[in-house]
Amino acid sequence: MPSQKLKLLGGGAHGIVFLAEYYNPPTFNVRMKLAVKSSKVEFSDSISGEGQILRKLQRCPYIIQCFGDDTSGEHGNTVYNLLLEYAPGGTLKKLINSREGFFPEDEASLYAYQLLKGIREVHRRGIVHCDLKPNNILVFPCGCGSNQLKIGDFRLSKVAGVGGHRGTLLYTSPESLFCGMHEAPKDIWAIGCIVAEMMAGKSPWKLCNDDDKLAQYMAFNQPQIPTNISDHVKDFLTRCFERNPNARWTADKLLNHPFVIDNPLLCLKWEDYQPLGNRPLGTGEWISSTGLFLTPI
């Protein structure tokens, strides 16, 4: 059996994610770990759509790589499987929780750089992610003692200029929430929320169990910028939290902001750095198979 689902990693309304092994001798003589996102084929439109977006974004080192798809018979059901990179470090949300926030500025700057490089590539391809948040950012430990972040979960992504989804409220920009505008500036606002969360260990918004009340609060207030940070970080967040989306800085501009560009860690060639445990499937060709996972867990 070339492939096997080993254990459940998580899931939601749109699919279940498994840790799996892919083994195809003699081409691949070492078992490769994969994250396999699965759904009954009749409910797989969002997952298969995510795969097509990721196919356009192959080779970007700051976006999760998708190796192909598979259709298998499991427990009497026809199951669609999307073959993704496995992130041994889990999610950025898990990393933030483990640190209780308070990332050193150099480290937060490095992660901001990686997210901006990834989202710049997304925007250059005419795509808006629409749901950037720490739970959708994957962590790959590197041999240098740091981590490489990769943007994942493109289920709510859309083509720029076409109608889309709101995404997660705590990371949603004002124009998206109140005007239904889901364009590239929305992703920049979300990156500001993520950086603020890394620096403070909590959301820049006052948490509320009632989404309507939270949305009303967001209508008349700005995200809270941490006070115990440098002026460079405060200015970076201010550029991300510009309420006018036309005045909000783009990823290109923010990559040249002093908070990002002055980081000494950027002397490393991150584009060429291979995270630990991240082995490519081979040629980068899209693999479309049938029956990789005939033996379910």
The answer to whether the bond into 26 is cis (omega within 30° of 0) is: yes
Distance CA 196, CA 233 (A): 9
Among 69, 70, 131, 187, the one annotated catalytic: 131
For this structure, is 131 an active site residue? yes
Write out the H or E segment, with its range, that includes residue 118.
helix 105-124
- Name 161's Cβ contacts closer than 8 Å, sequence gap at least 6: 183
H or E element, residue 40:
strand 28-40
And the tokens for 94?
Answer: 């898990």
Q: Tell me the two tokens of residue 90.
A: 């889990």
Joined together, the tokens standing for residue 286 give 């899209």
From residue 187, alpha-carbon distances to 14, 116, 183 in Å are: 22, 10, 8
Residue 281 Cα distances to 27, 29, 154, 188, 202, angstroms: 10, 11, 21, 32, 37
Give the residue among 199, 173, 169, 198 at the shortest CA–CA distance from 187.
173
For 63, 69, 82, 183, the CA distances from 54, given in Å and listed in that order, are: 8, 11, 10, 18
The structure tokens 């006070």 sit at 227
Residue corresponding to tokens 């992504």: 157
DSSP class of 159: E
Catalytic residues: 131
